[in-house]
Amino acid sequence: MSQTAAGIAAGVLAREIGAGARLIRWLEEGDPRGRDALATIYPHTGQAHLIGITGPPGAGKSTLTNALISEQRKRGRRVGVIAVDPSSPFSGGAVLGDRVRMQTHALDTGVFIRSMGTRGQLGGLSRATFDAILVQDAMGYDVVIVETVGVGQDELDIVSLAHSTVIVSVPGLGDEVQAIKAGLLEAGDLFVVNKADREGADALTRQLELMLHLREQTRPSDWTPPLVHTTALTGQGVATLTDELDRHLAMLKASGGFAACLKERNRHMFESLLQEQAARQILAAALAEPSAAQLISAVEQGDIDPYSAAAQLVGCISLKFS
Amino acid sequence: MTAFANRRLRVLLAKLGMDTHTIGVTVIAHALRDAGFEVIFTGLKQTAEMVANTAVQEDVDVIGVSSLSAAHMKHLPKLAEFLRQKGAGDKLLIAGGVVPLEDIAQLERAGVQKIFTMGTETKVIVDYLQTWWAAKLAAEQSGG
């Protein structure tokens, strides 16, 4: 396999999974070749239907994703999947096990599944994930599914900036609706009660209906989020969910929402890159100031409060961006 | 190199065929995670081709096969062959579990680069991978 940016970009556009996987890795690791290849493939992005799937641990997101892949394949679509799992905050390592539930598709050349660890870099998760989505999009996958536990701002950004955001819940977690964090309830375009054959599914459904009704009262919209019951393990309800996803996509395309969503995602990526690069340069400039060391030790000693110290240091930075 | 601040070893752990013993592979997965590696697990009952496809999709550096069902001579050479076929012959293929010493030479000829036999401490495997990874990174840097 070619190891140049041009070679990998050509491979991505020729829909070679190996090239796509390598480019995702470069982008995730900050390899400069990744940026060059991304610039080449970028004009070929913007076509895929991006579906975000989130919900509490144990809700059955991976199993549901697996069933969704099967249904989308039945409908003749090629499917990309980005499965995000948490990295250990202690070692930085991770055990990524989402794809265990999806290995039935390992021999299907129309399916490309990529696991990602959250790695804990500042603002880096959403960027790395959006990069991976761009790669699969450029490879011509009709549908790209991002699956993640919706905890933290980064992960919320990822799912809420998808075209169709699916919130999965299950009966039996105690206060069921508590498990759906405030931001997620607002972000959801489709709601799923998975493991719907289990006891408590009816009670969960009633609670969700109430919450969605309240949401409708405060934030009226043209789209009423459907509530779908599934048993992902058997595939029960997954065709209905896919119908609803198709209906949502058709609505987005007719209303201009598809383009608007893409615009918002592009802007988000641009702003987070800007923030990251600007923060890095400003921080480096601040720490290079002669007074920095003295101020840091004064803060540590408690001789000056951190607010005043930060203001003082920022005041004497002279920025020269290269 | 600051440009590669996020460089991290990725390992695919796999179970082939009807081998359903999971304790060993679970212990290894946790040891590798604690060493700071990213571990992807295939789950059970994989064919050699499924594992090779997964290694390509995940762009791992290392494929580690746990074998406790005595079918290593059947699966491992086939996996090595599939990896070469799919352009992933440059990835490190290692194995561990119940492998008689007299099989090792033949497996090595087939492309399995290292075999850890029963009773190997996890630290030995972590050290081996860390050394291999450091050498790979050094080669990348000097090779440009």
Q: What residues have CB less than 8 Å from A101, skipping those under 6 apart?
A: A62, A63, A65, A66, B43
- Count Cα neighbours of A246 within 13 Å in the Cβ-side half-sphere: 11
Contact B59 A18 (CB under 8 A): yes
d(Cα A172, Cα A154) in Å, to the nearest integer? 27
For chain B, helix, strand, coil in percent to 5 are 50, 20, 30
B2-137 classified as CATH 3.40.50.10470: no
Contact B43 A103 (CB under 8 A): yes
Provide the residue-wise pLDDT of chain A in tens; the chain has 322 residues. 679 999 999 999 999 999 999 999 999 998 999 999 999 999 999 999 999 999 888 899 999 999 999 999 999 999 999 999 888 888 889 999 899 999 999 999 999 999 999 876 655 677 889 999 999 999 999 999 999 876 667 777 888 889 999 999 999 876 656 656 667 788 899 999 999 999 999 999 998 898 888 888 888 788 999 999 999 999 999 999 999 999 999 999 999 999 999 999 999 889 888 888 888 888 888 888 888 999 999 999 999 999 999 988 888 876 655 5
CA distance, residue B3 to nearest chain A CA (Å): 6
Distances (CA, A) of A169 to A58, A68, A70, A215: 9, 16, 21, 17
CA distance, residue B5 to nearest chain A CA (Å): 7
Question: Which 74-113 residues of chain A touch chain B by CB within 8 A?
Answer: 87-88, 90-97, 99-101, 103, 106-107, 112-113
- Residue of B58, B84, B141 for testing the chain A interface, max A β-carbons within 10 Å: B58
Contact B43 A101 (CB under 8 A): yes
**Band of residue B3 on the pLDDT scale cut at 50, 70, 90:** very low
Domain ranges of chain B: 2-137
Contact B30 A29 (CB under 8 A): no
pLDDT given at position A115: 96
Query: Within a 10 A sphere around the Cβ of A257, how many other Cβ atoms?
Result: 17
- Residue in chain B nearest A97 by alpha carbon: B41
pLDDT given at position A218: 83
- Residue in chain B nearest A117 by alpha carbon: B38
Contact A96 B38 (CB under 8 A): yes
d(Cα A205, Cα A123) in Å, to the nearest integer? 34
For residue A95, the chain B residues in CB contact (below 8 A) are 29-30, 33, 39, 41
Distances (CA, A) of A63 to A57, A192, A212, A231, A233: 12, 13, 25, 9, 6
Domain ranges of chain A: 1-42, 45-255
d(Cα B48, Cα B51) in Å, to the nearest integer? 5
d(Cα B54, Cα A94) in Å, to the nearest integer? 17
Helix axes A5-13, A124-138, angle to 10 degrees: 60
In this predicted model, what pLDDT tens digit does every residue of B7-60 receive, in sequence order?
899 999 999 999 889 899 999 999 999 999 999 999 999 999 999 999 999 999
For residue A124, the chain B residues in CB contact (below 8 A) are 6
CATH code: domain A45-255 is 3.40.50.300
- In this predicted structure, the answer to whether residue B2 has a pLDDT above a threshold of 80 is no
Nearest to A95 among B8, B33, B43 (CB): B33
Strand-pairing partners, residue A148, are A54
**Residues of chain B with a CB closer than 8 angstroms to some CB in chain A:** 3-8, 10, 29-30, 32-43, 46-47, 49-50, 53-54, 56-59, 86-88
A322 or B119, greater pLDDT? B119
For residue B84, the chain A residues in CB contact (below 8 A) are none
In this predicted model, what pLDDT tens digit does every residue of B47-104 receive, in sequence order?
999 999 999 999 999 999 999 988 899 999 999 999 999 999 999 999 999 999 999 9
d(Cα B21, Cα A71) in Å, to the nearest integer? 32
- Residue of A95, A119, A125, A129 for testing the chain B interface, max B β-carbons within 10 Å: A95
**Exposed e or buried b per residue across B115-136, where buried means at least 16 C-beta atoms within 10 angstroms of its C-beta:** bbeeeeeeeebbeebeebbeee
Judged by a CB distance cut-off of 8 A, whether residue A117 touches chain B is: yes
- In this predicted structure, the answer to whether residue B1 has a pLDDT above a threshold of 50 is no
- Residue in chain A nearest B44 by alpha carbon: A100
- In this predicted structure, the answer to whether residue B5 has a pLDDT above a threshold of 70 is no
On the 0-12 / 13-18 / 19+ scale of CB atoms within 10 A, B1 is exposed
CA distance, residue B53 to nearest chain A CA (Å): 6
Residue located via tokens 């080449």:
A40
Strands, sheet with B62-67, edge to edge from the N-terminal-most edge strand: A94-96, B38-41, B10-15, B62-67, B92-97, B114-117
Residue A227 in tokens: 């509530």
